[in-house]
Amino acid sequence: MNMLEGKVVLVTGAAQGIGATLARGLVERGAAVIAADIEDATPVARDIEASGGRALAVRCDVTDAQEIEHTVQAALDGFQRLDGVVNNAALFGRVQNISMFDIDMADWDQIMAVNARGPWLVARAAIPAMEQIGGGAIVNVSTNRVFVGTPELLHYDASKGAVVALTRSMAREVGGRGIRVNCVAPGLTMSENVRQRAGIDSRAPLVNARRAIQRDQQPEDLVGAVAFLLSDDARFITGQTLVVDGGSVMH
Ligand SMILES: NC(=O)c1ccc[n+]([C@@H]2O[C@H](COP(=O)([O-])OP(=O)(O)OC[C@H]3O[C@@H](n4cnc5c(N)ncnc54)[C@H](O)[C@@H]3O)[C@@H](O)[C@H]2O)c1
């Protein structure tokens, strides 16, 4: 049997990049997905349906508590249950490297609002629905940069450090309610927006050289880890952060 058969999973930031690949990959493993994004995720949902899967596209800005509530309700209306959440939405792919001395305060606040506050707001709205069916699983998306210390994206790195921290605290707070909360920390991954970043062709080989497995990381490389953490096979795993980066960071 597929490891996610019968489960319904909300994936944020699913209109493109890693989120879209995760949505497709979770459906291939038996799940139905709600593809939520501030951009239009309809093409991703249509693509999934065309291959025989079940998916629903919902517009959802993860900084907006009301839109998040509507998204959870859309999941319940569409699929009658909610088993899992992947907190993938973030400001990342189009954020350019910038010195800490040049970061605009409004940009700092916006990155924190999307990347750190967003996962909390989505979890807060989704947990009661997951509790109704006896429990569920949340997978947050951080980055391996948190364990490295890398210059020129200080606002982004601070927001993703918060994701590791909130994963641990949330796991302890909701474990008794049947909810597991884990995190994956990808390395530099060739999503569409990353492929278009200035200087990526010269930077990627340097990143790859630090890996035990020395090649580009693709969005597909993350699907297995996320699916496992959502599945019942991970039933006694919570509060953990799994680095998925080809063996660059080892911790
Ligand atoms: N690609 C990488 O190298 C890499 C490495 C480590 C971690 N990550 C993390 O993986 C995740 C996906 O990365 P990606 O490369 O696909 O990023 P991306 O920037 O290409 O895609 C992010 C998605 O989030 C959506 N989004 C942005 N703001 C939103 C909001 N307020 N509400 C809802 N959706 C919103 C965007 O529309 C987009 O579809 C992010 O959390 C990122 O931080 C990426």
DSSP 38-82: SS--HHHHHHHHHTT--EEEEE--TT-HHHHHHHHHHHHHHHS--
Task: Please tell me the distance between residue 1's alpha carbon and the centre of ligand 1 in angstroms.
Answer: 31
Is 62 near ligand 1, meaning CB less than 6 Å away?
yes
Q: Residues 129-152: pLDDT tens digits?
A: 999 999 999 999 999 999 999 999
| Atom of ligand 1 minimally distant from the CA of 188 | 3
Q: Is the pLDDT of residue 65 over 90?
A: yes
Task: Please tell me the distance between residue 80's alpha carbon and the centre of ligand 1 in angstroms.
Answer: 27
Q: Is the pLDDT of residue 1 over 70?
A: no
Mean pLDDT for 179-201 is 97
Is 186 near ligand 1, meaning CB less than 6 Å away?
yes
**Residue 251: predicted pLDDT:** 84
User: Probe ligand 1: pick from 92, 197, 245, 249, max atoms within 8 Å of CB?
Assistant: 92
Is 119 near ligand 1, meaning CB less than 6 Å away?
no
Q: 8-243: which CATH topology? A: Rossmann fold (3.40.50)
Mean pLDDT for 155-177 is 98
Residue 145: strand, helix, or coil: helix
Q: What is the DSSP letter of 188?
A: S
Spatial contact of 95 and 104, defined as CB atoms under 8 Å apart = no
Is 143 near ligand 1, meaning CB less than 6 Å away?
yes
Residues with Cβ within 8 Å of 99's Cβ and at least 6 positions away in sequence, in order, are: 151, 152
* Average per-residue pLDDT for the chain: 98
Is 161 near ligand 1, meaning CB less than 6 Å away?
no
62 in active site:
no
pTM listed for this prediction: 0.99
The domain locations on the chain are: 8-243
Mean pLDDT for 184-188 is 98
